[in-house]
């Protein structure tokens, strides 16, 4: 691990990641696969808390920024802080490029962010995040 002003950075080899993650988690988090829609454990979750990166534990999103987009994956209108995620232009599909969202601490694939879809949120953004990329640390009851 290394660190800078944004906190600890997690740098592991593929073999080390494979030891930490299940095969499915590895495919999504380290190989940018996508879980099937409407199958993830957090798609319909309304519990209060903080969503962390499943690979490294970095805090990424709060439940207060989660909203129901009916797209099949958990949706957030903003990350906990901009320095918690990084963005990559994704041209893997034909048509318009998408913006991939990765954990800034360990570079794991989280999902994609979309703008201008007309959702009634403060940012007009939809962070479409794989449930398998997250763990929820609940607060309260």
pLDDT string in tens for the chain (141-residue length): 333 334 558 889 999 999 999 999 999 999 999 999 999 999 999 999 999 999 999 999 999 999 999 999 999 999 999 999 999 998 888 888 889 999 999 999 999 999 999 999 999 999 999 999 999 999 865
Residue 37 has, within 13 A of its CA and on its CB side, a CA count of 6
1 part of a folded domain: no
Q: Tell me, what CATH number does 80's domain have?
A: 2.170.150.20
Residue range of the domain that includes 64:
6-138
Residues belonging to the active site? 128
Count of structural domains within the chain: 1
Rounded alpha-carbon distances, angstroms, from residue 108 to 68, 69, 94, 96, 124 = 24, 23, 23, 23, 24
42 part of a folded domain: yes
Q: Decide if 127 contacts 42 (C-beta within 8 A).
A: no
61 part of a folded domain: yes
Give this prediction's pTM: 0.89
């Amino acid at each position: 691990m290394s660190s800078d002003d944004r906190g600890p950075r997690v740098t592991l080899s593929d073999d080390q990641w494979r030891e930490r993650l299940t095969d499915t988690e590895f495919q999504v988090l380290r190989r940018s696969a996508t879980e099937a829609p409407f199958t993830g454990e957090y798609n319909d979750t309304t519990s209060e808390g903080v969503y962390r990166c499943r690979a490294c534990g970095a805090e990424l999103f709060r439940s207060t920024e989660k909203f129901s987009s009916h797209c099949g994956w958990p949706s957030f209108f903003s990350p906990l802080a901009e320095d918690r995620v990084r963005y990559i232009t994704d041209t893997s599909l034909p048509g318009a490029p998408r913006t991939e969202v990765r954990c800034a601490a360990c570079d794991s694939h989280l999902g994609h962010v979309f703008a201008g879809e007309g959702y009634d949120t403060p940012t007009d953004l939809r962070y479409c995040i794989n449930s398998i990329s997250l763990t929820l640390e609940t607060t309260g009851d």
